[in-house]
Amino acid sequence: MPQTGIGIGLSDMVTPYTKVSGTLAHPTLVLDPEGALVEGSLVVATAGISFLARRFKERYLSAKDACGKAIDDTSEEFARLDAQYPFE
């Protein structure tokens, strides 16, 4: 079912402050102090407006077909690399 509105969830409030660390066999979720400081300070300084603006941008101003855009971008990059380094 398509979402409506800004679509704020718990993960949106936790993700900027955490990162995955460790090995592939033993990954761990840890606090990202730099991300927490930067993102947290920005949210506090703007009284939450920066958080809502980011969600609005992600929701309404991003590409409607993100997968198609990623494929197009990748195809262009491969074409550029192929022209620069032709396979013989």
pLDDT digits (tens, 9 = 90+) for 35-71: 778 877 887 888 888 878 887 887 777 777 878 888 8
> Is 4 among the domain residues?
no
> Is 47 among the domain residues?
yes
pTM: 0.44
> Is 28 among the domain residues?
yes
Looking at the structure of the chain, the number of domains it has is: 1
Give me the domain span that covers residue 25. Answer: 10-84
The DSSP 8-state label assigned to residue 29 in this structure reads E
CB 8 within 8 A of CB 59: no
Rounded distance, CA 27 to CA 31, Å?
13
> Is 5 among the domain residues?
no
CB 27 within 8 A of CB 8: no
